[in-house]
Each structure stands twice: as C-alpha cells, then as structure tokens.
Amino acid sequence: MLGYLSHCADNGRESTSVAFMYKKETMHRLMVLFRLQLATIACFGQITGTTAPIPGMFPNMFPLGTGQFGALPVMPVQAMTQQATRHARRVYVGGLPPIANEQSVATFFSQVMAAIGGNTAGPGDAVVNVYINHEKKFAFVEMRSVEEASNAMALDGIIFEGAPVKVRRPSDYNPSLAATLGPSQPNPNLNLAAVGLTPGSAGGLEGPDRIFVGGLPYYFTEAQIRELLESFGALRGFDLVKDRETGNSKGYAFCVYQDLSVTDIACAALNGIKMGDKTLTVRRANQGTNQPKPEQENVLLHAQQQIALQRLMLQPPPVVTKVVCLTQVVTVDELKDDDEYEDILEDIRMEAGKFGQLVNVVIPRPRPDGENAPGVGKVFLEYVDTEGSSKARAGMNGRKFGGNHVVAVFFPENKFSQGEYDD
C-alpha cells in the first residue's frame, strides 16, 4: 500500500513538473510571438509575400496561426496606438463658463483649429472627444493627432462664450515620451490673429513682468479694460478674472506687455487713478521696487496724458451741464506770456463758438509769484444752454492739439460760478 502511494506521489510530481514545463514553454512561445508582432509593427511595409491585411492590423503584419494560440485575443494595432498617444493628444481647458457642454466645446475648438491652420491630420474635425467636469468647470479635449494637440496649446487665453479659457497640458502628459510621438510645440506659422490671439501669448501671463490690475468697476467690459491697458502698448497676455458661476467680472485682471520696458511705466501711470467710485491698484503681481528709468520719463508723461482720456471715456455717462472743461490744451509756460495768453484765448473763443453761443471763456493763469492757482492748465467754456455744451464736448473730446489728445468733460455749474476750478 505504501509503495503504491509512493508510486502515485512520484507520478504526481512528474505530472506537476511536466505541466509546469508546458506552461513555461507556452508562455515563452507567447512572448516570442508578441515580440515578433512588435518588431513587425516597428518596420511594417518591409516584409513581402505575406497574406492580405486583416482589419485592425498593420499591412504585412502576420497573424497568429490557428489552433493552440489562434484564440489569443489581440488588441487592434490602431487601438493600441491611440491608447499609447492619448496623453499627448489631450489638452486641458480650464475656466469654462457654466453654459459649456461637450458639443459646444468640440464644435468651438474644431472650428478654431481650422481657422488658425492648426489641422494637420487631414480634412474633418480636429476634436474627437470631449469630457467636461461641470462642477469644476474644466474639460479634457482629445485631438486626432499629437501635432494637432500641440497646435491647440497656442489657444491659451482664447475667448469661449465670452470668457477667456486656459489651455494646458493634462497632468498625465509625459514630455519625454511625447517628443518621440510628434511635435511638442505649436507651429510658429499658425494664424492666431484670425481668432483674436497674439502670437506667443500662450503662457504669457507668467514671469516677473506680470501686472496685477485691481479695483476695476464691475461694469467694465473686457474690451474696455484692454483698450485702457493698450494705451501703453500691445499686450502679450490678458486675463480678466471672472466668477465661475455667474461669469461676471471680479474686478481685477492680470496682463503682460509685449514690450516689457513699459511695465513700470504703465503701473506708475495707472495706479491710484479713480474709475467711477473705485480706485485702481496697478502693480507687478510679484511686487518689487522697480521704478521707471530716467529715459522712460517722457514716455511716462505721455502715457499719463493718454490715460486721462481713456479714463474719462470709460466712466459712466456724466451729468450734462452748460460748462465744459478742457485739459491738455495749454501749458503753464504759455500762460505766463501775456501776448501768447491773449492769442490762445482768442483762438479758443473762435473754435468753441462753432458749437454754440458762448457766455464766457476762462483760462486760469499762474499767480505773479509763480505759484499755481486753482485750475491752471484747464480751459472752461460756458454756454447759454446744454445743447451748445454737449456739442462742444463731443466735438472737442479726443481732438489732437499740440501732439496731445484734448480731454473734454462737463463741469459743475455751481463750482464754476464760485470760481472753484479744481475737481
């Protein structure tokens, strides 16, 4: 009995050993076949005399034979390729407005990609899939190709449904691996101007020259704020911060100028300016101690003059009065000379009289001791009615005079009658 059990045990061990060896050999053969497939994929097109291509497989890739290994499931090569490149074909889009949905995002980015010349995978839509996280207001937009995804990175800051969105790489993006799959940077020849973007604006809101603009009235539109800031030069990047739920402005923004030398000039000219019932706070986002250089003083002076015009144009509609106040028309030196003063007074009287019947023209002059009197540098036009004053304000505001743009505003009648010429 014991001998029989021992014999059975020996046979069991032998069977187990044979089975193990068979499984090991099977796995080895599977690995060899798999490696052969990969090798064929890497150099497909160079093996001749093979069978007709099978759907889902590269041309000239030989299939597994029938029988023991014929039933082995094989993922189609196209699906394998898509999965391997997916991290490099997706882009993150943040700051979406509440009304965004998958269809609107897909349609928008497909149209924009076509408009800028970013489609490189042939005709059709560049976007193949969109996933939106409605709670956190972001989306993952999947492109057809790695190159198209890289081109989409140039769309950072584009306006979608009235809000600027951020376009970034997703967190699973692998730069070193992506570099082997296709271009990792946007094509420099993209026509970004076709969609209102400036070349090189992607990532433009980073760095030490990033400017914080706070204290903006909530009713200011993005176009108005841009116009205000662009008084100093073209912007490389701009971002008006908005409430994610309502889409309304939060009253502050960030920007970067293309010419970084105007950064401090813009900060100095804009900071502290009153806009309606608010006061602007404009400084470098990373506050430093940089001050305008001496050679920038003339630029700063001109910028301050320009900003006065922009500020008044952006304020709410003023109260109409019979008195119009002009600034940036005369200088202190011109007012000191009696003959020149009389010439200026007569010229202004004749020009202002074209808009209506004048009651009075007042141009305050410096005091004899050299001290400035209230209102020096301003010109006051008093008309018999608001029709004349309204025409004068509309006709003279923004007119160029001596290289400067004239600023014309209504002035309180009671202050004018009492000789209170300061604001």
**Tally of CB atoms within 10 A around 291:** 10
Q: Which residues of the chain have pLDDT under 70?
A: 1-82, 162, 196-207, 244-245, 286-318, 370, 372, 401-404, 423
Per-domain boundaries in the chain:
85-194, 211-314, 323-417
Q: Is 9 helix (H, G, I), strand (E, B) or coil?
A: helix
Same fold, 85-194 and 323-417: yes
How far from chain centre, in Å, is Cα 33? 51
**pLDDT tens-digit series, residues 213-264:** 988 888 888 888 888 898 888 888 888 887 766 777 888 888 888 888 888 8
CATH of 85-194, one of 3.40.50.720, 3.30.460.80, 3.60.150.10, 3.30.70.330: 3.30.70.330
Give me the pLDDT at residue 315, please.
56
**pLDDT tens-digit series, residues 86-142:** 888 999 999 898 888 998 899 889 988 988 899 988 888 999 999 999 998 999 999
For residue 270, what are the contacts with CB-CB under 8 A and spacing of at least 6?
213, 228, 229, 280, 282, 307
DSSP 342-358: HHHHHHHHHHHTTSS-E
User: Would you state the structure tokens that stand for residue 259, as one six-digit string?
Assistant: 């010419």
Look at phi and psi of residue 370 and say left if phi exceeds 0, alpha if psi is from -120 to 50, else beta. left
CATH of 323-417, one of 3.30.70.330, 3.10.180.10, 3.40.50.10490, 3.10.20.600: 3.30.70.330
- Write down the pTM of the prediction: 0.36
CATH of 211-314, one of 3.30.70.330, 3.40.50.170, 3.40.10.10, 3.10.20.30: 3.30.70.330
